[in-house]
Amino acid sequence: MNKQHASGALVPEDYPEFLRGLKQRIQQAQLRAVPSVNRELVLLAFAEAWPAESIVQQVVGRLPWGHNVRLIDLVKNPAERLW
């Protein structure tokens, strides 16, 4: 059954429980994102401190191995692979 809010809107009775669950899922997602964000911040700081391209990791080095294998399978021309 729905309750009527002061604004006149109908609010489901389980809405507070829904909000608690939503808040918990958001917090869990934030915790899972922290290592990725930290890794990106470290890479950015490193790139700013040492701008020489020869020591900065290439994008392909940050791809999971399966993605690299897939690219090798799809791109047969060695010159295109180097791009």
* Per-residue model confidence as pLDDT tens digits over 55-81: 656 666 777 777 777 878 888 887 887
Enter the tokens of residue 67.
């993605």
Q: Which pLDDT value is given to residue 40?
A: 86
At residue 1, the pLDDT reads 65
Q: What is the DSSP letter of 6?
A: T
Which among 24, 3, 21 is positioned nearest to 12, based on CA atoms?
3
Note the pLDDT tens digit of each residue in 2-24: 777 767 788 888 888 999 999 99
Quote the pLDDT of residue 60. 63
Question: For residues 54 and 67, what is the distance between their CA atoms, to the nearest angstrom?
Answer: 23
In whole angstroms, how far apart are CA 36 and each of 28, 40, 49, 52, 65?
14, 6, 20, 24, 17
2, 11 in Cβ contact below 8 A? Answer: yes
pTM greater than the 0.95 cutoff: no
pLDDT on residue 36: 87
